[in-house]
Amino acid sequence: MKIKKVDYNIANQRFDRYLRKYFKPYSEVKLNDIYSWIRKWAILVNNKRVKEDYKLLLGDEIKFNNIDKGEKTPKKMIYSKEKKIKELSLDEIKQLIIYEDQNRVVFDKPTWVLVHPGNKQNELCMNDYIEKYCSMIGINDGFKPSFGYRLDKDTSGVLIWAKNYQALQYLNGIIRNREIDKEYMTIVSGNMPKHLLVENNLEKVYDKKFWSSYMKVSQNGLYSKSEFWNKKTIEHSILGTISLVLVKLYTGRMHQIRVHLASEWFWMLWDIIYWNPALNRKLYKQLKINRQMLHCSSYSFKNMDGKNISFESKLPSDFQKLIN
């Protein structure tokens, strides 16, 4: 049995919505499980069964009980998650931290690490690093620390984790109001001009054949804007002419960087949707690189005290390998 006391980070939320956030890192737990546990008295508030829409009050006690053997329980789900991350060391996690204060931790996310749990149960994700770090340094887990935004599995770079509810609300607000400056680095095929501004409308399309979505330039789509600067052009012995490019986003559409590059006939290396297949084959077979070359290099915004704050991440080793 586990008891959690409702503090300021939890109070005034619907009971079911809080449980959905609480169990979000545990991919084994489905929405049906949560509602089933509420109905079967497996999760109580102040030793009573409450309805899903009950609004949690400051000081309430949430009790997680075991239920009948053979059924999934919150305790079992938590145990399976802890088992995955128990071998992570504090030093290993700290090596990924760029900056930390009372409101946030800024990670330098490695390539091939998901932000949230995926389909492979034994695969570490950034949420695992959060959980382990919280337990090691004694952060109160009344609020489930959260990332303000997501990076794709094979995208590296700056990733910000809010330590409390107020910090998460603030980060979400400035992202929603486009009050952040986010820059990426990428490597593309060809000799890109020194400066390129791309503005067009992007529409999301679902491909039934491949069971996936992609974006295309369309008058029916949403306005999008990206700006590119060529920082270095290299005559690579295997890939031919490639360019190291700085990217600044003004909107945040799905696949925006990749679509805008492809629309100007510059393909991001290892882009497997808007792609140059011949170049990708060389990249993998001869250079053993099989991830899209995209790196979140900097993230800047005004802090809650009104001061400008900026975080940067150096180019990873596979970028260095190509441009050097």
pLDDT given at position 122: 64
Last-in-domain residue among 40, 72, 104? 72
pLDDT-based confidence at residue 67 (cuts at 50, 70, 90): very low
Q: What is the pLDDT of residues 214-268, one digit of tens each?
A: 999 999 999 999 999 999 999 999 999 999 999 999 999 999 999 999 999 999 9
Last-in-domain residue among 72, 102, 122? 72
DSSP 235-251: EETTTEEEEEEEEEESS
pLDDT-based confidence at residue 294 (cuts at 50, 70, 90): very high
Domain limits at 316? 178-323
**CATH number of the domain where residue 237 is located:** 3.30.2350.10
Last-in-domain residue among 20, 49, 72? 72
Do residues 278 and 255 share a domain? Answer: yes
Q: Is residue 78 situated within a structural domain?
A: no
Judge contact between 186 and 294, C-beta under 8 A. Answer: yes
Do residues 192 and 313 share a domain? Answer: yes
Q: Is residue 30 situated within a structural domain?
A: yes
Do residues 66 and 197 share a domain? Answer: no
Q: Whole-angstrom distance between the N-terminal and C-terminal Cα of the chain?
A: 56
Q: Is residue 82 situated within a structural domain?
A: no
Mean pLDDT of 257-281: 93
Neighbours of 29 (CB within 10 A): 24
Phi, psi of 192 (to 5 degrees): -75, 145
Q: Name the pTM for this structure.
A: 0.73
pLDDT given at position 236: 96
217-223: Cβ within 8 A, 24+ apart: 217/259, 217/263, 222/251, 222/253, 223/199, 223/251
Nearest to 129 by CA among 148, 116, 112: 116
Do residues 222 and 287 share a domain? Answer: yes
Q: What is the pLDDT of residues 223-233, one digit of tens each?
A: 999 999 999 99
Size of the chain, expressed as the number of residues it contains: 324
121-126: Cβ within 8 A, 24+ apart: 121/27, 121/28, 121/80, 121/84, 122/84, 124/84, 124/85, 124/88, 126/159, 126/161
Of 49-63, 159-173, 207-221, 273-287, the range with the lowest mean pLDDT is 207-221
**CATH number of the domain where residue 14 is located:** 3.10.290.10
Do residues 183 and 227 share a domain? Answer: yes
Question: In the sheet that 61-64 helps form, which strands lie side by side, from edge to edge?
Answer: 2-5, 61-64, 43-45
State how many domains the chain has: 3
Q: Is residue 81 situated within a structural domain?
A: no
More confident residue, 82 or 305: 305
pLDDT given at position 210: 63
The pair of structure tokens assigned to 80 is: 């399976």
Q: What is the pLDDT of residues 119-148, one digit of tens each?
A: 555 678 898 898 889 888 877 656 777 888
In angstroms, the CA 281 to CA 214 distance is 22
| Mean pLDDT computed over every residue of the chain | 87
